[in-house]
Structure 1
């Protein structure tokens, strides 16, 4: 079976290298996300977005829903739906913020913490596998280079 030439490679040959580099980052991101989706579903019954909610909610005992939203790449309504599903599965709790009744506090249940830890191990396994050919020094260089990329002028 022939492998299709990635668009980033075609752009690199014929177009601006910065556009090719951007496209390559998106292709690699998609490759990782496809693997995350498959492995999280297969091993843990989670979508990648559900894992993202759990891992971000695990950083404190309780997190305000609006603060959780800031750390995710989803809409408010999508977060509400995900939290409803996770709450229905007994993985998170949601309760009104006693200091600001407009706010909602989200916390992982014991089952949510356990599943989050297991899925975090899978997450790390996928990342380490993907970076297997990269040294720590090269990873530091990648980090520094990507840190320079900014959509603002």
Structure 2
């Protein structure tokens, strides 16, 4: 067997490994669920899934503003990306920016009254889609094991 065939065979084995396949299933399921959530949120609530994620973070602690930098880090967006996103959300009347009293260079973001209302509507849509496509297909025990395993994976990644 010549070198090219050996490399081709090794590459084929690597591409078809159980780890690659299983991780691909996770990514495919997550991507499809993300797309389904985004589609339903846009259609029924008028916001993207990313906007919904911003509102989740802002609504977790009512009365507290969150810095744009913290939002960018939490959502794994660039500072420019989060600025454009917050611009669109501010134009839509969902959030407002305020200067940080502790740091004049920092901008804080908080939901408006309309933002809270849109969030509550979108949260119901989100819960419906997640329940239908994430929770219902699994038995109770499988769901508990899956969410526990995902928590373990997240902790392992956070520890490194």
- TM alignment of 1:7-26, pairs within 5 A: 15-26=16-27
Q: Structure 1 or 2: larger helix share?
A: 2
How far off is 1:42 after superposition?
A: 0.6
In structure 1, the residue matched to 2:41 is: 40
2-structure distance, mates of 1:133, 1:45? 27
Are 1:146 and 2:150 an aligned pair? yes
2-structure distance, mates of 1:115, 1:56? 14
- Partner of residue 139 from structure 2, selected from 135, 141, 145: 135
In structure 2, the residue matched to 1:5 is: none
TM-score (norm 1): 0.83
2:94 touches 2:115 (CA, 8 Å); kept in 1?
yes
In structure 2, the residue matched to 1:108 is: 111
Higher Rg of the two aligned structures: 2
Secondary structure at the counterpart of residue 106 of structure 1: strand
Aligned residues: 141
Secondary structure at the counterpart of residue 71 of structure 1: helix
2-structure distance, mates of 1:73, 1:33? 15
- Superposed CA deviations along residues 114-146 of structure 1, whole A, max 9, x for unmatched, are 001110111111110012121332112112223
